[in-house]
Structure 1
Amino acid sequence: MSTFNRVAIVGGTHGNEFSGIYLLKKWQASPALIHRDSFETETLFANPNAYRDNKRYLDCDLNRQFIPADLANPELSNYEQSRAKVINAQLGPKGNARTDLVIDLHNTTSNMGPTLILLKCDAFNTQLAAYVASKMDNAVILFEDQCTIEEHYFLCSIAEQGIIIEVGPQPQSVIRQDVLEWMDNMTTHILDFVELFNTDTVPELPATVSAYRYEETLKLPEDENGERIGMVHKNVQDADFTPLHNGDPIFTLFDGSEVHWEGDYEAYPHFINEAAYYDNNLAMSLGKKVSIDVIR
């Protein structure tokens, strides 16, 4: 892709993640803030009914509905499944989208700071990662490029290029000024970079950028009946992107005993104890720290 013509900023994919929703209101009232000369920028409030009801979702997670087969399946027709089809028609369709880049705004209850999640490791994304890292000292770069864009089920995978901004810690249905400002600043830097990319004026960037790459997801301890029998260890809680080594305690069972990490690599937990993931009993994601070559 040589240039980006249309960029969509999406907020409220989850109805109780408020930063993106209130930023959309701000930008809709002052569209000049997200205007750039070389491309069109539009905004989309993805899940207004979940926001109305102060829930993450009504029937199912909207951000897991964008596999092509699901989008093409008329029998998948609950609220979020139907909403996904509407959004795909508006921004896509996936595989031949009219939108070149989707920026999807999310909050997490985990202590992840301002995290830029990238689904590809190509020239645009590696340069973007280096640029954002140069503009925000506390920015975290996380690659979730373990599958193709087509195979991803995220909303932002509608477009050829999709980005998730994930900022926390922020409780559900709450607004925090620091978190909202981090999201606002990161979005601004992304739009600025797209303008630079389009006009072939990207500044000199470092040859590599420090990042993390998703490896696996861990579940909370369960018994044979699937009942939760433990919790995230206090030494791990709030320590997102802090290294975890083989033998480190990772869970504490309710009987007081500990479960230790048995891994063959240095792991970097993130999405630690994310409240929204309790419906699937997920404890955290693990990644590896990597040095990514910036492709020019």
Structure 2
Amino acid sequence: MNTRTNTINSVAVVGGTHGNEFSGIYLLRKWQQNPQVISRDSFSSQMVFANPKAFEENKRYLDCDMNRQFSLDDLNNQDLANYEQSRAKAINAQLGPKGNAKIDFIIDLHNTTSNMGPSLILLQSDAFNRKMGAYVKAKMPDAVVVLEDQSSVEEHYFLSSITNQGVIVEVGPQPQSVIRQDVLDWMEEMTQHILDYVELHNTDALPELPASYEAYKYEETLKLPEDANGERIGMVHKNVQDADFKPLHAGDPIFTLFDGTEVYWEGDYEAYPHFINEAAYYDNNLAMSLAKKVVVEV
């Protein structure tokens, strides 16, 4: 991004970072028939199909999660050369290199099996991102803004961290390898609002935005109950299932063990679970992410 004028001159819209998250892939196919719908007068746009082989094999990934391969150390480590690691290096060469990227802004499109609705994940809470969240929420009142600014962009390992500015559009609930119209429509609408925001930002034409809005700041990740051998011994409690971004308090049931025992949350803050029971996270036995509700000042 041109730091003198803060203008975004080039945007990459990425789909298929995970091969079984279909909304972004099919939106790319749609937009390729009519590319001008994702361009604006003040910037150029390109589309990137990140993980075509995983899509062909109807899998999230072939060798490893591509959206965890974009730390500087990993990108610079030539020994990391499996399919996703190699694709990550190729995408970094195409859009980056990270730290000195030729593209100014990335929108990375993702689906979740969790009941998160249309969610905008921001990696930074600078003025540009705070205003983007306000603009998207003003246009899409049901949209949720999630802050994952616990690390610097340089330290993040997501694809969207190649560029100084990048966001993740995360929409669900959608089963893996399925297309749902409501989810695809939400993703398309949110992407268009983000592109409109960039255009208005570039042309200094932003409308008056709300002075503040509620968002959810990532706090921690919880694992599913395990025994001493790491075997799963329980599941997400039925009261929590599908209750993404609903408050969770100390003493609320959060897991049910297979023997019927209920496990209660013992946290010392009001938590807002999301990515609840995400199918893709079962390989790591992750149950959900927890966030704190925050007020973002615009």
2:297 counterpart residue number: 293
Q: CA deviation at 1:32?
A: 1.7
2:234 counterpart residue number: 230
Q: CA deviation at 1:209?
A: 1.4
- Once the two structures are superposed, residues 59-83 of structure 1 have per-residue CA deviations (whole angstroms, 9 ceiling, x without a partner) of 0000000000100001000000000
Residue 216 of structure 2 corresponds to residue 212 of structure 1 = yes
- In the aligned structure 2, how far is the partner of 1:183 from the partner of 1:286? 23
Q: Which of residues 165, 178, 185 is equivalent to 1:181?
A: 185
- In the aligned structure 2, how far is the partner of 1:253 from the partner of 1:101? 44
1:140 counterpart residue number: 144
1:162 counterpart residue number: 166
- Once the two structures are superposed, residues 69-121 of structure 1 have per-residue CA deviations (whole angstroms, 9 ceiling, x without a partner) of 10000100000000000000000000000011000000000000000000000
- Secondary structure at the aligned position of 1:279 is classed as helix
- In the aligned structure 2, how far is the partner of 1:50 from the partner of 1:92? 22
- Secondary structure at the aligned position of 1:235 is classed as coil
Q: Which of residues 260, 267, 273 is equivalent to 1:263?
A: 267
2:96 counterpart residue number: 92
- In the aligned structure 2, how far is the partner of 1:186 from the partner of 1:169? 16
Equivalent position amino acid for 1:234 in 2 = K
Residue 131 of structure 2 corresponds to residue 123 of structure 1 = no
- Once the two structures are superposed, residues 236-281 of structure 1 have per-residue CA deviations (whole angstroms, 9 ceiling, x without a partner) of 0000000000000000000000110000000000000000000000
Q: CA deviation at 1:215?
A: 0.2
- In the aligned structure 2, how far is the partner of 1:117 from the partner of 1:72? 26
TM-score, normalising length: structure 2? 0.98
- In the aligned structure 2, how far is the partner of 1:149 from the partner of 1:288? 21
- Once the two structures are superposed, residues 196-216 of structure 1 have per-residue CA deviations (whole angstroms, 9 ceiling, x without a partner) of 000000110111111000000
- In the aligned structure 2, how far is the partner of 1:31 from the partner of 1:87? 20
- In the aligned structure 2, how far is the partner of 1:169 from the partner of 1:178? 9
Equivalent position amino acid for 2:188 in 1 = D
- Secondary structure at the aligned position of 2:169 is classed as strand
Q: Which of residues 36, 46, 51 is equivalent to 1:42?
A: 46
- Once the two structures are superposed, residues 124-162 of structure 1 have per-residue CA deviations (whole angstroms, 9 ceiling, x without a partner) of 100000000000011000000000001000000000001
Structure 1 segment 10-29 matched on structure 2, within 5 A:
10-29=14-33
Task: Show structure 2 runs of 5+ residues with no match.
Answer: none
Residue 253 of structure 2 corresponds to residue 249 of structure 1 = yes
Q: Which of residues 276, 282, 286 is equivalent to 1:282?
A: 286
Q: CA deviation at 1:35?
A: 1.6
- Once the two structures are superposed, residues 154-198 of structure 1 have per-residue CA deviations (whole angstroms, 9 ceiling, x without a partner) of 000000001000000000000000000000000000000000000
Residue 86 of structure 2 corresponds to residue 82 of structure 1 = yes
Percentage identity across paired residues of the two chains: 74
- Secondary structure at the aligned position of 2:18 is classed as coil
Residue 45 of structure 2 corresponds to residue 52 of structure 1 = no
TM-score, normalising length: structure 1? 0.99
Moved over 2 A (4+): none
Task: Show structure 1 runs of 5+ residues with no match.
Answer: none
2:68 counterpart residue number: 64
Q: Which of residues 10, 33, 42 is equivalent to 1:6?
A: 10
Number of paired residues?
294
